[in-house]
Each structure stands twice: as structure tokens, then as C-alpha cells.
Structure 1
Amino acid sequence: MAQGYPPPQYPQNGYGQQPPQNGYGPNPYAQGPYAQPPQPQPYAQPPQPYGRNPYPPHGQSPYPQAQPALPPCPKEAGGGRRFLAIVLDFVLAVGLGFAAANAADAASRPKPVAHAAGHAVHHSSGPAVPYFVTLLGVGLLASFLNQVVLARLTGFSVGKGILAMRVVRRKRVMRPNTWRLTRRWLLGFVYLAVVFLSEDFEVSEGDIVGMRSVRWKHLQEYQQAVGRLG
């Protein structure tokens, strides 16, 4: 019976390793005091979370685009135009107050009533409201409706609408709310009192409570500039 040959034995080298099967010898500098640490791959990328694309879509820039700045608020209308608008609103409120006071006074006067014996007897229609109270109350109500309610709905009062003006907020260039218009209306009485009592009569109200009276054409130019920005 034939006996098998024993497998060939390869002598070990000085480093105690078997020669590799590919025919290349081991690196004698891979171990020992002069061994070099493994070098990192120069093009290795850190792992990305699953489902997230590290690159922007095609056609988009990886850098954020700066938003274009909005144009400034239109400049305030001239002092003469604003003063004329104040006069028109004042005349409207006072005129309605006088009309209401005269009507109430005429209604409260005693009217003669014919008596059976031929004597005229004056008959009163009831307690009369004082003339000044009616004038002041109706005038203030008309002024409030004109400069607060109407301005909130349309952006202008009667006087400002006749002179092609609008009331806007200075920061956002938009129609102001009711509370801001009310504060402006109340402060307007104080401002007018100071102006009339001072020596230099000049309408330079500026931005009262963050609002500004501008011309209608300047506001249209602002809106067109904002529309072009997209």
C-alpha cells in the first residue's frame, strides 16, 4: 500500500513568518521600533446620514443668496400740503358740528299752539341740549370718523384724499391699524394747540407714533419698486 508524501515544509525566515502564497516577501519594516503608523486615506469622506444628500440639487448654489433690500419709506409730504389737509378736515368737523347744533336748537325752541279762546300758547318739545355741547360732541365724532375710521378703511381722510395723500406706517409702509390712528388723532389736538400757541407757526409733525403722511404718487412709486424686486 502506497504511502502519501508528507506536505513540504518551508523553512521559516528570521521574522518567524511563513512566506506568502503570492510570492512577495513580508515587509521587514512593518514591525519593530521603526514601524510606520497607518496613513489615512487622502480622499476619505465622512459617513453621511442615511437619506440625506450632501450636495445641493442641480442648478442651485450651495451658498445662500442675499435678499435684496427694500426701498426706503416715501418721504413725507410738504408742510403746506399737510397744513391744507388739516384745515379741510377741521372745517368738515366744525361744519357738521354747527349744522347739528343749529338743528338741535331749532328743534328745542317752543312752538306756538293755538288755544280754543284764540290765545297762542307756547309749547316746548322737551329739555334742550346746550348748543355748545352739541357742537363739540358732533364735531369730535365727525373728526374721529373721518380721521380714524375712514383712514383705517381707505388710508386717508377727506382732506388728505382731496390733496392726494395717504397715511402709512413708516417701517412697513402699510395701512396703520385703528389703535395707532386713534393715538395719532388724540395727539393731533395737543400738537395743534402747541403750534397755535407758539410764535413760529410751522407744520412739521414728523413721524407721530410711527406714521407718515405721504403723497399718493410717491406711494405708487414705492409699490412699483417693491413689485420689481419680486
Structure 2
Amino acid sequence: MAQGYPPPQYPQNGYGQPPQEYGYGQNPYAQQPQPYGQNPYPPHGRPAPQPFRYQPRPVYTPDEVPAPPETSNWRRFPAILIDCLVAVGPAFAVADQAGNPGRNGAPASVPWIVALVATGLVLSFVNQVLLARRTGFSVGKGVMALRVIRPKHVMRPDTWRLTRRWLLGFVFLLFTWLAEEFEGAGDIVGVRTVRWKHLREYQQAVARLS
């Protein structure tokens, strides 16, 4: 009769269980696997990237597109200065011509200061009212790429509104220079000075929604 082999003997670890290094148990020092996409140790100390969250853009109708904003003082003040030079420069030439004595020592027909003020006001009115009504800008605003609009309907202002704005502009400039600071005029009599760039963007947005 053949004698059977005795069962294998394993070294005991004090608890009656096979040792862990033989593969019968789990390594208590093994690191648990991390879920995919979570890195607890980002490189170079940067935070882990956050998931992208889509934020829909506001949907407007043609009537709800915001009007172009008021231009900055850095563009408005040079435009006013150019418009003043356009009116005052020729006015000095006309005043010098009208205020000089005529031939044979005849007295001047118009005093120098009267000719200066009258010519300057006429040129200023033609530039800032009539020209702006026709084209949407004066000479100074055209050089600085500005336009005048009515913010309520984003359209070119009429002659009466431009005239009132022209008259109130002298009072505004007077108080501005007395206060030694230049602040935005805002929407005087419902007329706003905007950048031509912003006006074109508004027109393109309205055209796409129409």
C-alpha cells in the first residue's frame, strides 16, 4: 500500500494564518487606486483643472440690444478742442479783415470783437449742428471717430436737439473750466456721443437679429 504524502506545512505568523508575502492575503501597505481624473498632487503646485461649465450668452431681440456706451473723456475733450479751433481760427482772420481801417483811413465798419464773436458762433453752429445733422458728427468728432446719437432709439438726432445741445454746451464748458476738472457730460437733452466702432457693432448686432 502506497504511503501518501503529508500535507504541506507553512510557517505560522503567530495568528494561524499563512504569511502575506505568499500571495494569500492583501498587502496592508498597498496604496488604494485613485479614481480616474482626480490628481491629488498636481504638478508644479498648480490646482487641478476644474470641469468646464457652459454659460449660455444672453439672447436679445433687435429692440433689446443695448445702446452704445458714452465715449470716454480722453476722446471727447480732443474733439471739443478741434471744434473750437475750427470755429475760432477762421473767426480771427475774418475779424482782422473787418476790424482794420478801410482805404483812405476810413473807420472799420464792424468792431473787431463783434466780428470775432459773430463769425465764431456762426462757424460753430454750422459745424456742430448743421454738419452733425447731415453726417452724424462734427469736424472734431469725425477726427476722433465719434458719432452723436439718440440713445433711446439709436438714431441721428434732429436739428432742434442738436441746437439745444450746442447752446447748453457753452454753459457746460464754462462750469467745467471754472471747476478745473473735465467730467463726462452724459446724455445732454437726450443726445449721446459714442465711438463709431461701438455704433457699427450695435448696427451689426441688430442686423443679425432682424
Task: Tell me the TM-score normalized by structure 1.
Answer: 0.63
Q: How many Å separate the matches in 2 of 1:156 and 1:162? A: 9
- Whether 1:205 aligns to 2:185 is yes
- Whether 1:101 aligns to 2:101 is no
Pair member with larger Rg: 1
Q: How many Å separate the matches in 2 of 1:196 and 1:162? A: 23
Q: Identity rate of aligned residues, in percent?
A: 56
Q: How many Å separate the matches in 2 of 1:68 and 1:94? A: 43
Question: What does residue 222 of structure 1 align with?
Answer: 202
- Is there any run of 5+ residues in structure 2 with no aligned partner, and where? 1-59
- Whether 1:166 aligns to 2:160 is no
Q: How many Å separate the matches in 1 of 2:61 and 2:68? A: 21
Q: Count how many residue pairs are aligned between Structure 1 and Structure 2.
A: 151
Q: CA RMSD in A?
A: 1.7
Q: How many Å separate the matches in 2 of 1:163 and 1:136? A: 26
- Whether 1:179 aligns to 2:173 is no
- Does the 8 Å contact 1:97/1:139 carry over to 2? yes
- Does the 8 Å contact 2:146/2:196 carry over to 1? yes
Question: What does residue 138 of structure 2 align with?
Answer: 157
Question: What does residue 148 of structure 1 align with?
Answer: 129
Question: What does residue 84 of structure 1 align with?
Answer: 78
- Whether 1:195 aligns to 2:176 is yes
CA apart distance, 1:220: 0.4
Q: How many Å separate the matches in 1 of 2:172 and 2:105? A: 46
- Does the 8 Å contact 1:83/1:203 carry over to 2? no
Q: Larger RCO: Structure 1 or Structure 2 (Cα < 8 Å, ≥ 6 residues apart)?
A: 2
CA gap of 1:224–1:104, structure 2 versus 1, over 3 A, is same
- Does the 8 Å contact 2:102/2:108 carry over to 1? no
SS at match of 1:214: strand
- Does the 8 Å contact 1:82/1:203 carry over to 2? no
